[in-house]
Amino acid sequence: MRLSIAAIAQVALTGALVHAASTFSPARPPAIPLAVRSPYVNTWLAVGKDGGNGGYLAGEWAQSWSQHTNGWVGLIRVDGTPYTWMGAAANGPAAVDQTEFSYTSTRSNFIMNVGGKVGMNITFMSPVTPNDLKRQSLTFSYLDVAVHSLDGSTHNVEIYTDVSGEWASGDDSAIIQWDYNTANGVAYHTIARQQQNEMAEDREQAAWGTWYYSTADGEGLTYQSGIDTDVRAAFAKNGVLANSKDTNFRAVNNQWPVFGFTKKLGAVGGSSVSTVFSIGLTQDNAVNFLGQGSDLTKVPALWKSYFSNSLDAMTFFYNDYATSASLATDLDNRVASDSTAAAGQDYLTITSLSVRQTFGALQFCGTDSAPLVFLKEISSNSDIQTVDVMFPSMPLIIYTNPKLLAYLMDPLYINQENGHYPNKNAIHDLGTFPNAKGYPAGNDELMPLEECGNMIIMTLAYAQRTGDTAYLNTHYKLLKQWAAYLVDDSLVPANQISTDDFAGSLANQTNLAIKGIIGLRAMSEIANMTGNSDDEKSFGDTASSYLTQWQSLGINQGANPPHTTLSYGDNDSHGLLYNLYANSLLGFGTSFVPQSVYDMQSAFYPTVALEYGVPLDTRHSWVKSDWMLFAAATSSSDTRDMFIKKLANWINVTPTNRPLTDLYDGNSGDFPGITFNARPVVGGHFALLALPK
Ligand SMILES: *[C@@H]1O[C@H](CO)[C@@H](O)[C@H](O)[C@H]1NC(C)=O
Ligand SMILES: *[C@@H]1O[C@H](CO)[C@@H](O)[C@H](O)[C@H]1NC(C)=O
Ligand SMILES: *[C@@H]1O[C@H](CO)[C@@H](O)[C@H](O)[C@H]1NC(C)=O
Ligand SMILES: *[C@@H]1O[C@H](CO)[C@@H](O)[C@H](O)[C@H]1NC(C)=O
């Protein structure tokens, strides 16, 4: 049985009235990451008032980014009295009092007060290990439930948690099957769709693969699968489960089967007792890909390269908690110290919320010696390997491990170098996740100038950061072909869309032109690094000449203050000149684009700022958070801080209730009629930290 949304809101409201308010630190995000590891392990708690309950773990269902409930319940008994600490189970016991919420790059942490007797420290940790592919390949997440006495007495404590079949299928009428077993010290439930539809999705959740919900095997553990209300009621009443399996395999929504664990902690005193759970998905093949050869091939998930079967992968992950937690702390600390040093706490509020979301859109595939990373353009089409989504995501990739940039671009190069794309420009994407079928007919979304510029800029950024000039040689032919496109189209761009396709198509876009021109300058650098002196000179001369002309075409010098226009000659228009960022990223500095352009834009932006940010351009009051931080990275410190302060404040107050949208209205802070969410482009928030040292 399910509560209606209205009923859930009612419970949440009642809860909020009864209980003291929680603090939220460093901010109250629009949605809280719970288990966010990959496009299909992507579960959140809605917070913003568009549909969230304000950030309380008890009283609301966890859900996928696509807003499908992923039933996840937590109960606790203290001296025989049951309470709810997670989820919105119908007729469940009263909620614990949530007093604190905080987040870091890898963790969401809730502090609960249970009847004044017991404190709970509940941590959802989704590891991010960009330099450790074995660990990064495991699409699992941890839940750590620590309990201690608050009042100086010892208390008898049992904890309970379950997951529903909703994790294993976005279609609630699909039949699932399940099992329970133990291995390598780990007790686990498996849940899977009975009919495995490989490479298919329901409601953006995978229709194939096996889910594991796991904890340590040992004394005090009981388990049960069965009807949701039965299993939960058994715990609430007795504090133990029946150690029994429901054998009636059925649809997700047919008497909602759930998969529960209880742990009897016994007498709990002042020192904290912790129980760890893990949730995750294993798939043998993760993506279909048109690469080498003329047919689609199935690409294995990368974990297959390190483990002989999914059980080994799962038990490795579970038993790795201590190491994984310490690696997570290293990353948390690195992001914290670098972000605060670069631009203070507001910047850390933004960056630390963006890490799991960015990596959560990536699926690691291939083999240890030839990894391929596939990106899902979550929420806006679900395209796979979208070049102009990879481009804004790039700063976090460069900051953590620039080699990943090659693993992301490789599928694009492999597809195009094997003759699967007929056009002269760079391809826009490879299809719809998880099927990278490419566009042999050349009928992809046409964003030619955008993608030619993006590919050249990303490829040079990769080679500069890694020293891998061989990569430039390998792909020189295509790079030069794309540069030729830029020679033809970058100075006077034809009527076309840019990455901001929602804003419409336009000729002579000033910001798009500068991307192409910097792309030509980048091609000159690539030619230099590969010993192609003629190309170096030719592309370099064209870039310089175009840049000079661009300054008279794209700048309204007569305005007060002067600024670049949205499109040539449209004097009253303006827009974020976020593509200037590439000039800094690639280290060209003011030897290419003059300092006066940087200074002019930096002085201009504050004059057109709205409550929650600087609008993308004069067509709408819409704000793009990734592009704002690209602009921030090329601004004076005052203007930079203005961008950052507005974005950090927006995160804390936005009514949006889904994983961080990068597009919102600058006046209301709400969705502008388009509900982007959970997109990896928030990796662009690391723009300041990806600049060359
Ligand atoms: C809660 O646990 C996390 C680690 O899981 C730790 O970093 C944090 O300090 C703890 N908080 C409290 C208040 O004990
Ligand atoms: C684009 O700009 C060029 C250079 O100013 C101009 O000649 C051309 O007419 C413009 N195109 C459009 C469609 O406005
Ligand atoms: C690359 O640039 C450097 C520095 O300007 C120059 O010394 C070198 O000759 C160039 N290499 C080629 C192959 O043009
Ligand atoms: C636009 O502004 C420039 C000065 O920056 C001026 O020369 C030009 O005439 C203006 N164009 C229009 C159409 O007003």
Confidence check: pLDDT of 2 > 60: no
Q: DSSP state, 561?
A: S
Q: Average pLDDT in the 112-117 region?
A: 98
CB of 329 sitting under 6 A from ligand 1: no
Q: How many CA atoms lie within 13 A of 242 on its CB side?
A: 13
CB of 509 sitting under 6 A from ligand 2: no
For residue 180, CA distances in Å to 172, 307, 316, 441 come to 21, 21, 18, 48
> Which pLDDT score, from 0 to 100, does residue 392 have?
98
Measured N-to-C along each axis, helices 476-489 and 510-529 cross at an angle, to the nearest 10 degrees, of 140
> Which pLDDT score, from 0 to 100, does residue 20 have?
65
> Which pLDDT score, from 0 to 100, does residue 669 have?
98
Q: Rounded to whole angstroms, how far apart are CA atoms 286 and 428?
A: 21
Task: List domains and CATH numbers for the chain.
Answer: 8-285+306-322 (2.70.98.40), 443-690 (1.50.10.10)
> Which pLDDT score, from 0 to 100, does residue 598 have?
98
Q: Average pLDDT in the 216-224 region?
A: 97
CB 281 within 8 A of CB 37: no
pLDDT, mean over the chain:
96
Confidence check: pLDDT of 570 > 50: yes
Q: Which residue has the tokens 């989504």?
A: 389
In the reported structure, the alpha carbon of residue 260 is separated from the centroid of ligand 1 by a whole-number distance in angstroms of 25
CB 631 within 8 A of CB 581: yes
Dig out the tokens for 446 from the structure: 């046409």
> Which pLDDT score, from 0 to 100, does residue 573 have?
98
> Which pLDDT score, from 0 to 100, does residue 693 have?
87
Confidence check: pLDDT of 458 > 60: yes
As a whole-number percent, the residues of the chain with pLDDT over 70 amount to 97
Confidence check: pLDDT of 5 > 60: no
> Which pLDDT score, from 0 to 100, does residue 600 have?
98
pLDDT of 74-113, one tens digit each? 999 999 999 999 999 999 999 999 999 999 999 999 999 9
In the reported structure, the alpha carbon of residue 528 is separated from the centroid of ligand 3 by a whole-number distance in angstroms of 6
Pocket test for ligand 4, best of 510, 551, 556 (most atoms within 8 A of CB): 556
Contacts of 501 (CB under 8 A, 6+ apart): 445, 447
Q: Average pLDDT in the 487-500 region?
A: 97
Q: Rounded to whole angstroms, how far apart are CA atoms 447 and 450?
A: 6
Closest ligand 4 atom to 557 CA: 5
CB of 492 sitting under 6 A from ligand 2: yes
Confidence check: pLDDT of 4 > 50: no
> Which pLDDT score, from 0 to 100, does residue 9 have?
38
* Residues 535, 541, 545, 550, CA torsion sign: positive
Confidence check: pLDDT of 14 > 50: no
* Residues 236, 242, 243, 245, CA torsion sign: negative
Q: What is the reported pTM?
A: 0.96
Indicate the helix (H) or strand (E) that contains 481.
helix 476-489
Q: Average pLDDT in the 540-558 region?
A: 98
CB 636 within 8 A of CB 599: yes
Dig out the tokens for 178 from the structure: 């399940």
Confidence check: pLDDT of 658 > 70: yes
Q: Average pLDDT in the 616-632 region?
A: 98
Confidence check: pLDDT of 12 > 90: no
Q: Which residue has the tokens 């969401």?
A: 108
CB of 609 sitting under 6 A from ligand 2: no
CB of 507 sitting under 6 A from ligand 2: yes
> Which pLDDT score, from 0 to 100, does residue 208 have?
98
Q: Average pLDDT in the 529-538 region?
A: 98
Confidence check: pLDDT of 326 > 70: yes
Contacts of 214 (CB under 8 A, 6+ apart): 186, 187, 188, 189, 277, 278, 279, 314, 315, 318
> Which pLDDT score, from 0 to 100, does residue 541 have?
98
Q: Average pLDDT in the 491-497 region?
A: 97
CB 397 within 8 A of CB 404: yes
Confidence check: pLDDT of 7 > 50: no
| Burial class of residue 560 (count of CB atoms within 10 Å of its CB; 0-12, 13-18, 19+) | exposed
Confidence check: pLDDT of 637 > 70: yes
> Which pLDDT score, from 0 to 100, does residue 263 have?
98
Q: Rounded to whole angstroms, how far apart are CA atoms 429 and 384?
A: 6
Q: Rounded to whole angstroms, how far apart are CA atoms 265 and 216?
A: 13
- Note the ligand closest to the C-alpha atom of 533: 3
- Note the ligand closest to the C-alpha atom of 324: 1
Q: DSSP state, 426?
A: P
Dig out the tokens for 39 from the structure: 């496009």
